[in-house]
């Protein structure tokens, strides 16, 4: 059923990608994966200069999460508003690994960031949250991807998926949010509701 669900959603070429950092990446990965219009999520490292970072050798990178979203259902502006509502932009953890960062990949995205901040009575120069261009995104190790789901029995439904397929699965992104209580079972797609019923009946 997860495979059937994954076949029905937008291809990655038809989505846009946004990258943010809001502390430990497990939480926002699940929270944003449960949102309407968000198709895929993944976690990783960005913002530093260390080549090929890993969790135990992070260097100057920060834990980040990426969302692939359908621009026809969810705008970059809406994602930004949710990000700024999820943290205090005037506070910044001292540890680089868990800092708050909004990355942009185009001048248009930077202008949207400036506009959202202006609406909040703020500017890039007077907040602690880092606003910077995305250079390179390094995917985190498989055991970090869809962390809440990976530690739930629903993960057994992905037995035929390799690490990359699991990381990039829309079904995994949604179910990761469900396991973390960010989405109600009534709001799951029909295929995922049927899967949940089968698993609970087993």
Neighbours of 1 (CB within 10 A): 17
Cα 48 to Cα 57, 64, 173, distances in angstroms: 12, 11, 26
C-alpha 162/C-alpha 168 separation (Å) is: 10
Neighbours of 89 (CB within 10 A): 20
**Helix 76-85 with 107-119: angle, nearest 10 deg:** 50
Eight-class DSSP state of 152: S
C-alpha 140/C-alpha 72 separation (Å) is: 28
Catalytic residue among 4, 17, 23, 24: 24
- Give, rounded to a whole angstrom, the gap between the first and last alpha carbons of the chain: 15
Cβ–Cβ < 8 Å for 167, 146: yes
**24 has catalytic annotation:** yes
The overall longest dimension of the chain from CA atoms, in Å, is 55
Residue whose entry in the numeric block shows the structure tokens 């049927």 = 194
Active site residues: 24
């Amino acid at each position: 059923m997860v495979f059937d669900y994954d076949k029905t959603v937008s291809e990655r070429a038809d989505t846009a990608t946004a990258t943010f950092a809001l502390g430990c990446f497990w939480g926002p990965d699940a929270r944003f994966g449960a949102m309407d219009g968000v198709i895929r999520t993944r976690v990783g490292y960005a913002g530093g200069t260390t080549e090929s970072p890993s969790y135990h050798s992070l260097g100057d990178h920060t834990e980040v999460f990426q969302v692939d979203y359908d621009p026809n259902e969810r705008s970059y502006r809406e994602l930004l508003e949710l990000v700024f509502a999820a943290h205090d932009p005037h506070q910044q953890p001292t540890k680089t690994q868990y800092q708050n960062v909004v990355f942009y990949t185009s001048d248009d995205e930077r202008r949207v960031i400036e506009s959202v901040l202006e609406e909040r009575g703020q500017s890039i120069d007077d907040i602690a949250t880092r606003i910077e261009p995305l250079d390179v995104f390094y995917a985190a190790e498989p055991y970090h991807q869809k962390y809440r789901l990976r530690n739930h029995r629903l993960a057994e439904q992905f037995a035929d998926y390799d690490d990359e397929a699991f990381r990039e699965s829309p079904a995994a992104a949604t179910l990761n949010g469900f396991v973390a209580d960010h989405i109600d079972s009534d709001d799951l797609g029909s295929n995922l509701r049927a899967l949940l019923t089968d698993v609970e009946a087993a």
